[in-house]
Amino acid sequence: MSEQSLYTVLGIGLFWLGLYRALTVNALLIKIISFNVAGAGTFMILIASAYHDTLPPDAIPHAIVLTGIVVSVATSALAILLALRSQSSSTTKTSANDHHR
C-alpha cells in the first residue's frame, strides 16, 4: 500500500469516526471535538490527493487545507463559547426558578 493510499484510508476512517461520534453523543463539547476529528480526516484526504507519482505535489490542496485549519480553529472557538454560554444560561434559569419557589 502506498503512502497516498494509506493517508486516504486513514482520512476516510477519521472522517467516519468523527461523524459517527458527533451523531451518537449528546454532550456539546464532545460533539465539537468530533466534528474537528471529522475535519482532520477531510484534511488528510485533501493532502493525500495532492501527491502524484511523477509530478511535484499540487499546491492548491495544501492552501485549501491551511485555510480550512484556520477556519476550523475559529469555528471551534466560537462553538465552545456558545456552548458555554448556553450551559451557563440554562444553569442561571434553573437557579432562578429554584429561588422563586
| Amino acid, single-letter form, for residue 101 | R
Asked whether the whole model's pTM tops 0.85, one would answer no
Q: Give residue for cell 495532492.
A: 50
User: What CATH architecture applies to the domain 3-95?
Assistant: Orthogonal Bundle (1.10)
Extents of the domains making up the chain: 3-95
Residue 77 has, within 13 A of its CA and on its CB side, a CA count of: 5
Determine the Cα–Cα distance for residues 5 and 45; give it in Å rounded to an integer. Answer: 9
Which cell numbers hold the place of 36? 474537528
Q: Is 50 helix (H, G, I), strand (E, B) or coil?
A: coil
Q: What is the pLDDT of residues 27-77, one digit of tens each?
A: 999 999 999 999 999 999 999 999 888 888 889 999 999 999 999 999 999
The predicted pLDDT at position 90 comes to: 74
